[in-house]
Amino acid sequence: MLMLLLGWSRTPSNRPVRMVPRIAIVLVLMCACTAAQEYDLVLSGGRVVDPASGLDAIRNVAIDGSRIAAVSTAPLKGRTVIDVSDNVVAPGFIDLHAHGQTPENYALRARDGVTTALELEIGAVDIPKWYAQRKGKALINYGVSSGHVPSCMRVMGDSGTFLPRDRAAQKRPTLDESRRIFESVRNGLDDGGLGIGFGLAYVPEVTRKDVFDLFDLAASRGVPCFVHLRYQGLAEPGVLAGLEEVIAAAAATGAALHVVHITPAGRSLTPDALKMIAGARTRGLHVTTEFYPYEASMTNLESAIFNPGWQERMGAKYSDLVWVQTGERITAESFDRLRQKGGPVIIHGIPEDMLRFAMASPLPMVASDGLIEQGKGHPRGAGTFARMLGLYAREEKVLPLMECIRKMTIAPAQVLEEAVPSLKRKGRIAPGADADIAVFDPSRVIDHATFEKPALPSTGFRLVLVNGVPVVRNDDLVGGGQPGQPVRRTSR
């Protein structure tokens, strides 16, 4: 065999005669094939930042169809070649906490570098219908959890739409209602829900047994629990008691736990909350968390969040509240009237130093908790990811670029990849990965959305690809395609 590879042969007299080494011919042919390979698209000369592998270097990236085909130092041929020198080529950002699942929200997220937006905190009650409504109509990838809150609302006959406002917000489920809620959530997992979503602060009368039973269900299906804590803020029982409840359920059942928006939940106790999460992780529990880079939160004024005692729980006052529809500050006189009407309200008061603490910690990843409706809402729905890159990584240097991108790509992908194997192809720049890519100018990328104008799109994105299809080019949307694909579990 060695003689064959080296190109030796024998004459009839059995004397070896040296010929051109065949191994050299093979190598020449291999090089010729590589040189001849023509890809659908090549991103040429960009700074590839891939936290999954630690790569931070100039590379050429080739794309065939919906996948990355090659990452190379050598020049690559493509039917289309785009020079992206002086730009960062990063995995497309993954938003685990994305409420706005509409074309308006998808467009704003794409212009913020997001290629996958998942509704995991509140979730949905009819999983097949939810996915069917978006099939072939989504600019970016989408997915949803099986939601405990919408199941409570349906079973208990709550009159709210997105969040509970009466029966589910104020009453404890009966034993029969608890059974039917459990069955509803289980059916949602059977239909491909990505995990179980909990908004415990919105259904505060739900029993701990009901929560434990659903964590046990999640563990048996191998899916995470995405939890808005029952107790938050400073007053007892506060954020630490809220964490104790769900960390105990995770420890007892083995379910993976993801705690949503740790900074508004913890406020000035954020370091203590993160210490508790770190301790659980050190002792072998699968607990993760997230934050968004703003000093204000948003929720519905009619929800149980604003039940009596809200000022003490949040450490907030009436003037910290802004009615989203008009931008007016809420007063003691207007509070009851607007609460009866119902609608979103912005709550100022997350300490800036707590945001920076969360950013600098390796634990929390970035998620938007975003929702924009007809241009109204919170700026996090349009600017979360560019704000991290531009304001906090570049201008204020709270964290390095690599770490910033890690919190927006591979970290969220890893929360779900064991339950949803398709996530192992996302959050990475590597051959075989999905061609969800954000190309941005690191010197220019920035958010523009404000509390007064929350739907202003981010800028600095040279190119955003979803499954290999351009959806943003030079900060503008690219018309004509809806390449977003469902992120969904295979039913078990």
The mean per-residue pLDDT over the stretch 260-289 comes to 97
Give the residue with greater pLDDT, 14 vs 341: 341
Tokens found for residue 264: 């508004």
Q: Describe the crossing of helices 208-221 and 175-190 by its angle, rounded to 10 degrees.
A: 20
pLDDT score of 388 more than 70: yes
| Residue 379 near residue 297 (C-beta atoms within 8 A) | no
CA angle 237, 243, 248 (to 5 degrees): 115
pLDDT at position 235 is: 84
| Residue 179 near residue 151 (C-beta atoms within 8 A) | no
| Cα 198 to Cα 229: distance, rounded to the nearest angstrom | 8
Give 19's Cβ-side CA count (13 Å radius). Answer: 14
pLDDT score of 361 more than 90: yes
| Cα 277 to Cα 289: distance, rounded to the nearest angstrom | 8
Q: Which residue ranges form the domains of the chain, and what is each CATH number?
A: 91-295+350-434 (3.20.20.140)
| Residue 471 near residue 464 (C-beta atoms within 8 A) | yes
pLDDT score of 479 more than 90: no
How far is Cα of residue 181 from the mean position of the Cα atoms in its chain? 26
Strand partners, 271: none
| Cα 304 to Cα 345: distance, rounded to the nearest angstrom | 13
Q: What percent of the chain has pLDDT over 90?
A: 90
pLDDT at position 233 is: 86
Range with the lowest mean pLDDT among 8-17, 102-111, 332-341, 456-465? 8-17
| Cα 76 to Cα 37: distance, rounded to the nearest angstrom | 8
pLDDT at position 215 is: 98
Reported confidence tier of residue 83, pLDDT bands at 50, 70, 90: very high
| Cα 220 to Cα 309: distance, rounded to the nearest angstrom | 37
Reported confidence tier of residue 36, pLDDT bands at 50, 70, 90: low
pLDDT score of 322 more than 70: yes
Q: What is the pLDDT of residues 409-461, one digit of tens each?
A: 999 999 999 999 999 999 999 999 999 999 999 999 999 999 999 999 999 99
| Cα 481 to Cα 487: distance, rounded to the nearest angstrom | 18
Q: What is the pLDDT of residues 124-155, one digit of tens each?
A: 999 999 999 999 999 999 999 999 999 999 99
pLDDT score of 239 more than 80: yes
| Residue 300 near residue 344 (C-beta atoms within 8 A) | yes
pLDDT score of 256 more than 80: yes
| Cα 129 to Cα 185: distance, rounded to the nearest angstrom | 15
pLDDT at position 22 is: 42
Measuring CA to CA, how many Å separate 478 from each of 195, 227, 385, 464, 472? Answer: 32, 35, 20, 10, 5
pLDDT at position 359 is: 97
233: number of Cβ within 10 Å = 25
| DSSP-derived pairing of the beta strands 77-83 and 38-50 | parallel
Reported confidence tier of residue 491, pLDDT bands at 50, 70, 90: low
| Residue 58 near residue 48 (C-beta atoms within 8 A) | yes
| Cα 185 to Cα 190: distance, rounded to the nearest angstrom | 9
| pTM for the structure as a whole | 0.92
With CA atoms as reference, report the closest residue to 482 among 44, 67, 133. 133
In the chain, the N- to C-terminal Cα span, in Å, equals 49
| Cα 124 to Cα 129: distance, rounded to the nearest angstrom | 9
| Residue 359 near residue 291 (C-beta atoms within 8 A) | yes
3-state secondary structure the chain: CHHHHHCEEECCCCCEEECCCHHHHHHHHHHHHHHHCEEEEEEEEEEEEECCCCEEEEEEEEEECCEEEEEECCCCEEEEEEECCCCEEEECEEECEECCCCHHHHHHHHCCCEEEEEEEEEEECCHHHHHHHHCCCCCCEEEEEEEHHHHHHHHHCCCCCCCCCCHHHHCCCCHHHHHHHHHHHHHHHHCCCCCEEEEHHHCCCCCHHHHHHHHHHHHHHCCCEEEECCCCCCCCCCHHHHHHHHHHHHHHHCCCEEECCHHHHHHHHHHHHHHHHHHHHHCCCCEEEEECCCCEEEEECCCHHHCCCHHHHHCCCHHHEEECCCCCECCHHHHHHHHHHCCEEEEECCCHHHHHHHHHCCCCEECCCECEECCEECCHHHHHHHHHHHHHHHHCCCCCHHHHHHCCCHHHHHHHCCCCHHHHHCCCCCCCCECCEEEECCCCCECCCCCCCCCCCCECEEEEEECCEEEEECCEECCCCCCCCECCCCCC
pLDDT at position 453 is: 97
Cis geometry, peptide bond prior to residue 271 (ω within 30 degrees of 0): no
pLDDT at position 228 is: 98
Tokens found for residue 187: 């059916």
| Residue 431 near residue 69 (C-beta atoms within 8 A) | yes
